[in-house]
Structure 1
Amino acid sequence: MTDRLPTPGSGQVPVLRLGDVLLVTLQGDLYDSTAEQLQQDIGEAIAHHAATGVVIDVSGVEIVDSFLGRVLAEIAAKARLLAAQTVVAGMRPAVAITMVELGLTLPGLRTALTAEDALRLVTARPTPPRPGGAQAGSR
């Protein structure tokens, strides 16, 4: 089931619901008012739909700055408080390099190469702990 959640006004970033997951696709620059509204929209959508995951597709973002890094980290922190995990997908190599150079570690965020990979990550069931504390598949 795919629903486009209502986002009032123009210039808003659409938040799509795919079952228990929210999908947000960023295109171009994200301005202060748009970022603030996006954070609010995602928080409300998580609570209203009991979403367990948020996928943020940044494949349309060519330039990253500390503002965007902070917005992504804040979205992840708020989602985590609402019992949802966040995965950022589609980061271009140049964007990743810039984020490292800016010192943006983005705590609480997982990454995936594509939106499809990110959807798999947020819908995968966690592996139960094994006796002795070792996780299955851990090295």
Structure 2
Amino acid sequence: MNSGPALVSILRQGDTLVASVHTALDDSEMVRFQHDLVRQIGEHRARGIIIDVAALDVIDSFASRTLRSIADIARLRGAVTVIVGIQPDVAFAMVCLGMDMGEVPTALDLEEGLAYLSRLRGLGSSHG
């Protein structure tokens, strides 16, 4: 069907899924990404989700809402989502437009996102 380069890649690292968005997605591609990622959360029994948006130079209101929805769905399935790599200009524009990621944690980059999930797991294991 689509012979072009992948728009998104979803890789498993242990019980964490790392989804990298490689280029701007239109609304239908964003919805397909959401469905693919949610399906893989169940398939891989993921406990952590990192969505890397570093390649995006725009995050519009639909994309922002969809990312928050993914995080809500993942939470209901037992996984924590972290959004990483929001570019400075994108963050500035989002703030100016009154958009944010709601309750979804964000981190500077993939390394920080993995560290965040690791810290959460450390806290969670003492309550288990």
TM over 0.5: yes
The CA deviation string for residues 39-97 of structure 1, in whole angstroms up to 9 with x for no partner, is 11111111111101110111101112111111111111111111111111111111111
Runs of 5+ consecutive residues of structure 1 not aligned to the other structure: 1-7, 129-139
Structure 1 contact 13–25 (Cα < 8 Å) conserved: yes
Deviation at 1:107, TM superposition (A): 2.1
Q: Counterpart of 1:107 in structure 2: which amino acid?
A: G
Distance 1:9 1:48, change over 3 A: farther
Partner residue in 1 for 2:65: 70
Q: 1:30, 1:65 → 2: CA distance?
A: 10
Residue 123 (structure 2) pairs with residue 127 (structure 1):
yes
1:104 and 2:62 aligned: no
The separation in 1 between residues aligned to 2:80 and 2:49, in whole angstroms, is 6
User: What TM-score results when the alignment is normalised by the length of structure 1?
Assistant: 0.79
CA RMSD of aligned residues (A): 2.0
Q: Give me the identity figure in percent.
A: 38
Aligned equivalents of 2:88 and 2:72: distance in 1? 24
Number of aligned residues: 122
SS of 1:103's equivalent in the other structure is: coil
TM-score by length of 2: 0.85
**1:12: Cα distance to partner?**
4.8
Structure 1 equivalent of residue 48 of structure 2: 53
Q: CA deviation at 1:105?
A: 2.4
Aligned-partner SS, 1:23: strand
Is the CA contact (8 Å cut-off) linking 2:18 and 2:52 kept in structure 1? yes
Alpha-carbon distance between aligned partners in 1 of 2:92 and 2:24, rounded to the nearest angstrom: 18
Letter in 1 for 2:21: L
Instruction: Name the aligned partner's letter for residue 94 of structure 1.
Output: D
* Structure 2 residue identity aligned to 1:90: G
5+ residue gaps, structure 2: none
The structure that has the greater radius of gyration is 1
